[in-house]
Structure 1
Amino acid sequence: MTDPRSARAPATPLVVHDPFMSVWSHTDELTQSWPTHWTGKNQSMSGMAHIDGKGYRFMGLVTRSGRDVPAMRQTARDVTPLRTIYRFEADGVELTLTFTTPTFPEDVELMARPVSYIDIEVASIDGKPHEVSAYIDWSTNWATGNPETDVIWGRHRAGKTEALFVGAREQTPLHRSGDEVQIDWGYLYTSTEPDMAADSAFGDARTLRDSFALTGTIPARDDVREGKPLPMPTHGHRGLNLNQSGIHQERPAYNVAAWSRAFGSVDKEKQAFRLLVAYDQVFALEYFNRRLRPFWSRNGASAIGLVERAWAEREALCARAAAYDDELIAQLTRSGGETYARVGILAFRQCLGGHALVADLDGKLLYFSKENSSNGCLGTVDLTYPGAPFFLIHNPALLEAQMRPICAYAMGGRWPFPYAPHDVGQFPLANGQVYGGGELTEHNQMPYEESGNMLILAAALAQKTDDDRFIREFWPLWEKWAKYLVEAGIDPENQLCTDDFAGHLPHNANLSLKAIVGVGAYGLLCRRLGKTDEAEEHLAIARDWALKWPGLADDGDAFRLAFDKAGSWSQKYNLIWDRILGLGLFPDEIARKEMASYKRRQDRYGLPLDSREHYTKLDWLVWTACLTGDQADFDALIAPVANWLDDAPERVPLSDWFDTQTGKQIGIGGFRSRPVVGGTFIKLMLDQAKG
């Protein structure tokens, strides 16, 4: 049996909070590469230990000058929902490095706090005392995605709490949007535990790292540079430089915020060096031309106040995170086994890290997803739909907060169409739909997809919370979108669905399922509000369509991809909501027939999405595995995912779109680090609903 904590991961989360603060290791060993942003661009951290006069690396590559600093031997790497733990050994000393990100989704105040704790613990393991010191730094490329941006730096203090900060000289918050965009506004903060003896400095990476590697200490000043002091402002970094062989060479101007601690003589008793990293974005999002501050600072809290509070609560939060991890991993394992637990562990921080939380002027929560590695769309409905199981389990208020911007936009007078929008902008600017035809044309819209999604999610939210206020607030929209589906009918015209990479498809049988369940979901909403006649009318339409659907889609041993395509087939993942909502529209034998077909069609790395290509979507695959409610069926479809996790050739945050025969991502760049992986929690959601 594989321990889901220590099993291979395509990429390992280190510090993951939102689409801008999202740092990963893309190699099995932490000393084989620099940590990077989810986009693959360096957001470097260097970690070193000095043991009995000799320098070693435990994080990052060699020093800037290329000085030979050997790597400690990595002996373990464990990943849990909220923590990542590495262990290293060298010269009789064990070093444990722990990243803790206490983003509890049940507690939005903590979830939205952009703070991660980093603990370095050392102990002798050979029975002898050793002189040990430790070092860690953060590059300015955490705060300036663009090379050669001028930066400024300094210190903040609140009582015994002290933090180094660095940010761009010219602050232009929210001045651009895009997909693979790193932040270049706001300020990076690093700090060590109050009352802990430690040294800190800001300056040239080569000088600081070489100093520690040679002496175990760093200069006690904030303008460190060999030859002459570092001026203020200065270039943060100069970006990548490749030689003729394509090998990465680092240029001299590369500045860091560094901390070190001399432990003195270390024996078998562990000694700790505790740090944290935080980020103040100043402004987080623009919401219909209104700039909104990060959730944690919405009431005027300061960055040093954030750091001060984080230190005051550290012990309780780290203990809570450890207990939370143990319980959630146990739940995932009981629900779906070790492979499912592996997926859930990796999906947890990634799902949260693909969103950003703010509060509107009236205090209502607004929670925005980002289509990472797709097009950068913000608040996309067909990201909210697959990710919904995660939030229905952990905090339904966050699902409502994702739906609210779409509803406010559709009710605000600008959206001209009778169906639901696709998005509300491109991250971090929520100023109106950018996908397809936007507000101007119906070109490349997703009418069936998004209308069905919103109706299904509205019914699921009301069912979970037993609260109708959100439904009542936007009732005209549910009426309008249900009317669109009813008038459009059971047989979709030639349009896109969420799997838009596959192109337009008329008569899409799986999209038809979404419309049927969506109309039924509207019937449930009517029933909740006492609209009895309207409820029965729409439930009757849904039942009638459900009776007709098998005849339209039947292809003998399975149901077709499209009603008019004999010999085709597809995953019918939308069918799962019939069971979740308790509609009972479709007989069980439909799911059983599909499941038998799926088992015959699996490849080494999973079940293809449909008969057109050998690729799959991880979120939909897990939904499909749940269709019959039979554990053996789920186990059969989830088993190949273990092969993919073990073999995936691209070392990127969990991809949700990959080739089922090669394991490779699809296309150039591929899908990675997308919040849709929250959909993999659907099995746990179903099991919890059973009690």
Structure 2
Amino acid sequence: MLLRALCALAACASVARAELDETDYTPIVVPLAVRSPYLGAYLTGREDKTLVSMDPHFWTTLPLGWKGLLRVDGHTWNWMGNLTDWPAATNASIRHTASESGFTLTNDPPTVALHASFLSPVTPADLFRQSIPFSYLHLSAESLDGQAHDVDVYSEVNGLWLADEEHEELEWAVHEPERGTGRDFVGVRARLKHQRPFEEAYHNDLWSDEWVSTDRILQGDLWYAAQDVPGSTVRTTFAAGDDAMTTRRLFAESGSLRSVVNTTQPRPTRTRRAHNASLVLDEPVFALAHSFGRISPASPPEDRSALVAIGHVRDPLVQYMTGTSGHKEVVALRPLWASTFVDVAHLVGWFLVDYPTAKRMSDEFNAKLYADARAVESQEYAHVVAVSTRQIFMALEAVWDESVEGRDAREGLVTWSPLTGEPVPTMIMLKEISSNGNCQTVDVIAPILPFLLYASPTLIPLLLEPIHRYMASGLYVPVPPTHDLGDHYPNATAHNDFLHPNLPIEEAGNALCLQLAGMRVADPSTAALSAHERVSHWVDKASSKASSWAGRNKEAQRVGWEADVGVGKDHRREGARMARAQARERYALLKKWADYLEEESLYPGDQRTTDDFFGSAPNQTSLVVKGIMGLRAMSEIASDLGETADRDYYLDVSNRFRDTFLDMTVSKDGTHILGTYNNQSSWVTHYNLYFDKLFDTKVFPDSVYRMLDAFYPTVAQPYGPPLDSRFPDRAKTDWLAWAAALFPRSSPSSSSSRTLFLDALARYFRQDRNAVFGDSITPDEGWSVGFLSRPVAGGHYSLLGLAVLAQARADAAATTLLSRSRSSLSQSLLALAALVALTVVALVGARGVRRCVRRRSGYVELGGGRRRAGSRGASRVSVDGVWGVGSPRSVFELAELEDEGDEGAGEGEGEEESWRLRRPPQGGLSASAGHGGKRRD
């Protein structure tokens, strides 16, 4: 153990010196500030992805106002946002990780470099930190020619961060540093004058001629703030509400701003000339300028850098329907951070101070992710999952569950505050980004499952809880789970008395498989670990992390993000604990969903699948597979909860359905599984089989997977096979990844389909013609066709999720084996003790027989005493006894009476027997009479 600990410490020390994966990977879209459904800024389109000539855009592709200027020795350059009044800086390089996009920009000729790093922290085990709706911009300057230079850096935002509509009027205020209060920063806060809580803006869609959401919330505040470090030589100034051109020219002339608030407010985001709409007359902006002074190669980093936070803050976040069938209530759910911070200013101050920790945690996650992705597949696959990560979290918001259910300690659905170390009752709300904005869509949560298993298993029960709680209220009439909790986020006001459920088979199967996955991600035991187990746990984790970061021992490294939450609680065990407790509480509800699948899923009616743009159709085999796997998941859930009758029942149903399904769906030529019953020309990409591989249930035989492995290359296009033969012009990136995981890792003698699917996915992520990430694509040319920036990108983690659950099963098997070994050892020790006891009894019994034969009376007890024979009052003389060294016998032996001593005495006539204590051989211990006879083993 000591050697293992020393090795782990040495490895950790080497890891601390190791650098992150530096890559030249430039994806379709470069995320900048991506933190919530309403804070999502990207560089979109064009292969070069240069900050200089591109405006950052919201995920809808509409522009945001985020621009920047660099002033070197009195000369000004545009470094962000295409400000053509000044010469363009050179975008020298770009670096992308799972949490950060970094750019290096220089003047021309290059004498100074500006490093601009956009960090949206990824801390998947620390959901409190993850939920904070702010992102970082870190700016640092560097002399390239060895000379000293005067350097100033400027950046600005505008009202387009709050709404697309330029006529919306803005209000603003300034926060100046408050020393010693936790609010040592300078910042500008802007908001729409007309606040409309829980309401998104709508506009007339030119294609459909319908009013549709712009996906911009008409509630909340935009914060743009800079850290103010006491004693720093960096001087930060601001402008609040002055016109954009006025503000930029002031900086270009002086290198600083006036730090005054324009009191002419409210004003529209932009005011244009009536007869020439291309000319903007007035645009209030919110700007920060950082004067680094004269920097040289000898200047310390803190004297030539600045830290900025940008965020979109709402409180409350979501309207949620709760209550019972006899009572409805809509409650306003507050953000998780409100449980710890008294106001937004304290939150911003802490967020800026927390930058080193957030950066370290994010870098560690990125390094581990790249190592794990390479271990299960390749470097290219690592790029795919890395660029998908921030998009997943953009759809999620954590709410503080102040309800009675949330306060009930038995629920245990919590996150942990990094400030107080205390658990906070929590639920996680999800927006179905882009497709229709639904709240808590079950078939959007399901594709994310692989990511949740790999990085953040506690999210599984926290995402399911709002659905469970609403379904248990009785407000929803249909039996299967609701498709979503509201037609448009942030209104989780549900579908009370909704008589026609949407995607019922899909959602019932998804809900059951999600529940099982949450329970199986780790050992859910809540028993306290012994000191030895805690040390072993730490050493194993440290060794694994060190090996993966250092790129060593790839075959043996553990896949999956490992971290502790709260007071040393492993986040995987916590996730499994919460999921199991949730399943136990909602067990009756889960059974209802399984019973629905038994009734409906073998011969599904005219239903849609998850990807409802394909339309509804009867007897879709993808739905049947989902139903079969949902039934098998119910059997496994019942098994884990000790419900043996239900376990056996649902196992039998799923097996019978499987057999009938295969009899009806294998094509006549034996090449593939039909897409619909009795249609020999139909086929689909059977991504739902992923659950069979994920849980290792072996519901479907290997012959099915070998058949599909050979089939998919025959229908593939450059960007993968279509999802459904009925619609040859559509594929889905999440399902390409799920389907890839059905087949073994590629080798000359193994799967061709795995390589096919993964190559198609990687090719799409390098497709520079697309403006944004879309999970719905054309398989022939790789165009994104709707479904933009959705969290289903978590499905790209399919191979990593598969590896994590395989490890969990191996851990469970090892634990079971160890338990059996301990049990066997205990039984062996008990058997040995019994054998020794029997031997002792036998020895004592043999002596007794001899005494009887010799007509001797009396006996000696181990640890007891002797009884005087013939005495009516059976008095006892105690003697202390221990086992002698080298001898299995008592130190006391009954000495034979000499014949001479018995002469003249009547047999059994009350005369005292003669006893003699004999010391055992080999120096045995002596004993004294008169002490309680307890044997010391």
Both structures adopt the same fold (TM-score exceeding 0.5): yes
* Cα shift at 1:457: 1.0
Q: Would the aligned equivalents of 1:158 and 1:304 in 2 still touch at CA under 8 Å? A: no
**1:627-662 Cα deviation digits (max 9, x unpaired):** 02334433332112232222242211x211100112
Alignment of 1:489-528 (within 5 A): 489-528=601-640
Q: Would the aligned equivalents of 1:648 and 1:663 in 2 still touch at CA under 8 Å? A: no
* Cα shift at 1:345: 1.2
Residue 15 to residue 253, structure 1, CA distance change in 2 (3 Å): same
Aligned counterpart, 2:929: none
In structure 2, C-alpha distance between the alignment counterparts of 1:34 and 1:79, rounded to whole Å: 18
Alignment of 1:277-676 (within 5 A): 277-288=310-321, 289-299=330-340, 301-362=342-403, 363=406, 364-425=425-486, 426-433=488-495, 439-442=497-500, 445-465=502-522, 466=524, 467=577, 468-555=580-667, 556-612=670-726, 613-632=728-747, 633=751, 634-652=754-772, 654-666=773-785, 670-676=786-792
**1:140 aligned onto 2:159:** yes
The one-letter code matched in structure 2 to 1:423 is D
In structure 2, C-alpha distance between the alignment counterparts of 1:4 and 1:593, rounded to whole Å: 40
Larger CA deviation: 267-276 vs 126-135 = 267-276
In structure 2, C-alpha distance between the alignment counterparts of 1:473 and 1:253, rounded to whole Å: 58
Q: Would the aligned equivalents of 2:272 and 2:278 in 1 still touch at CA under 8 Å? A: no
Alignment of 1:168-207 (within 5 A): 168-176=192-200, 179-195=213-229, 196-202=234-240, 203-207=242-246
Partner secondary structure for residue 281 of structure 2 = coil
The one-letter code matched in structure 1 to 2:217 is I
Partner secondary structure for residue 113 of structure 1 = coil
Residue 240 to residue 89, structure 1, CA distance change in 2 (3 Å): farther
* Cα shift at 1:463: 1.6
Aligned counterpart, 2:309: 276
**1:139-168 Cα deviation digits (max 9, x unpaired):** 122134432222221123432333221112
Residue 239 to residue 337, structure 1, CA distance change in 2 (3 Å): farther
Aligned counterpart, 1:226: none
* Cα shift at 1:327: 1.9
Q: Would the aligned equivalents of 2:152 and 2:289 in 1 still touch at CA under 8 Å? A: yes
The one-letter code matched in structure 1 to 2:443 is D
**1:25 aligned onto 2:48:** no
**1:324-351 Cα deviation digits (max 9, x unpaired):** 2222222222222122112111110000
In structure 2, C-alpha distance between the alignment counterparts of 1:606 and 1:87, rounded to whole Å: 35
**1:264 aligned onto 2:293:** yes
**1:24-62 Cα deviation digits (max 9, x unpaired):** 111411122211211122222111101222211111022
Return the match for 2:89 from 54, 67, 72. 72
Aligned counterpart, 1:60: 81
* Cα shift at 1:506: 1.2
* Cα shift at 1:557: 1.1
The one-letter code matched in structure 1 to 2:336 is F
* Cα shift at 1:402: 1.3
Q: Would the aligned equivalents of 1:208 and 1:219 in 2 still touch at CA under 8 Å? A: no
Give the alignment's Cα RMSD to 1 decimal: 2.2
Q: Which runs of 5+ in 1 are unaligned?
A: 224-229
Q: Which runs of 5+ in 2 are unaligned?
A: 1-20, 202-211, 322-329, 407-424, 525-576, 808-937
TM-score calculated relative to the size of structure 1: 0.92
Residue 250 to residue 99, structure 1, CA distance change in 2 (3 Å): farther
Identity among equivalent pairs (%) = 26
* Cα shift at 1:412: 1.2
Residue 8 to residue 141, structure 1, CA distance change in 2 (3 Å): same
In structure 2, C-alpha distance between the alignment counterparts of 1:656 and 1:350, rounded to whole Å: 12
In structure 2, C-alpha distance between the alignment counterparts of 1:194 and 1:145, rounded to whole Å: 31
In structure 1, C-alpha distance between the alignment counterparts of 2:608 and 2:672, rounded to whole Å: 23
The one-letter code matched in structure 1 to 2:635 is G
Q: Would the aligned equivalents of 2:675 and 2:684 in 1 still touch at CA under 8 Å? A: yes
In structure 2, C-alpha distance between the alignment counterparts of 1:439 and 1:48, rounded to whole Å: 56
In structure 1, C-alpha distance between the alignment counterparts of 2:70 and 2:763, rounded to whole Å: 36
* Cα shift at 1:111: 0.5
Q: Would the aligned equivalents of 2:200 and 2:214 in 1 still touch at CA under 8 Å? A: no
**1:210-265 Cα deviation digits (max 9, x unpaired):** 22234433333222xxxxxx50222233599998xxxx946232221111112222
In structure 2, C-alpha distance between the alignment counterparts of 1:501 and 1:493, rounded to whole Å: 17
Aligned counterpart, 1:227: none
Return the match for 1:124 from 143, 154, 173. 143
Residue 476 to residue 510, structure 1, CA distance change in 2 (3 Å): same
Aligned counterpart, 1:8: 26
Partner secondary structure for residue 376 of structure 1 = coil
Q: Would the aligned equivalents of 1:104 and 1:111 in 2 still touch at CA under 8 Å? A: yes
* Cα shift at 1:439: 4.2
Residue 517 to residue 4, structure 1, CA distance change in 2 (3 Å): farther
Partner secondary structure for residue 664 of structure 1 = coil
The one-letter code matched in structure 2 to 1:440 is F
Larger CA deviation: 125-134 vs 585-594 = 125-134
Q: Would the aligned equivalents of 2:120 and 2:135 in 1 still touch at CA under 8 Å? A: yes
**1:63-91 Cα deviation digits (max 9, x unpaired):** xxxx5212111111111111110111213
Q: Would the aligned equivalents of 1:648 and 1:664 in 2 still touch at CA under 8 Å? A: no
The one-letter code matched in structure 2 to 1:626 is A
The one-letter code matched in structure 2 to 1:404 is E
In structure 1, C-alpha distance between the alignment counterparts of 2:385 and 2:631, rounded to whole Å: 31
In structure 1, C-alpha distance between the alignment counterparts of 2:497 and 2:95, rounded to whole Å: 47
* Cα shift at 1:286: 0.9
**1:425-464 Cα deviation digits (max 9, x unpaired):** 120000014xxxx84342x721111011111111111222
The one-letter code matched in structure 2 to 1:655 is G
Partner secondary structure for residue 455 of structure 1 = helix
Residue 179 to residue 476, structure 1, CA distance change in 2 (3 Å): farther
Q: Would the aligned equivalents of 1:49 and 1:134 in 2 still touch at CA under 8 Å? A: yes
Aligned counterpart, 1:161: 185
Residue 314 to residue 614, structure 1, CA distance change in 2 (3 Å): same
Q: Would the aligned equivalents of 1:179 and 1:373 in 2 still touch at CA under 8 Å? A: no
* Cα shift at 1:608: 1.6
Residue 105 to residue 642, structure 1, CA distance change in 2 (3 Å): same
Partner secondary structure for residue 408 of structure 1 = helix
In structure 2, C-alpha distance between the alignment counterparts of 1:26 and 1:387, rounded to whole Å: 23
In structure 1, C-alpha distance between the alignment counterparts of 2:274 and 2:472, rounded to whole Å: 50
In structure 2, C-alpha distance between the alignment counterparts of 1:314 and 1:18, rounded to whole Å: 18
Aligned counterpart, 2:838: none
Partner secondary structure for residue 6 of structure 1 = coil
**1:542-588 Cα deviation digits (max 9, x unpaired):** 11111222221111211111122112211111111112223221111
The one-letter code matched in structure 2 to 1:530 is G
The one-letter code matched in structure 2 to 1:471 is A
Residue 240 to residue 158, structure 1, CA distance change in 2 (3 Å): farther
Q: Would the aligned equivalents of 1:599 and 1:637 in 2 still touch at CA under 8 Å? A: no
In structure 1, C-alpha distance between the alignment counterparts of 2:687 and 2:273, rounded to whole Å: 43
The one-letter code matched in structure 1 to 2:268 is H
**1:93 aligned onto 2:112:** yes
The one-letter code matched in structure 2 to 1:371 is E
In structure 2, C-alpha distance between the alignment counterparts of 1:421 and 1:553, rounded to whole Å: 29
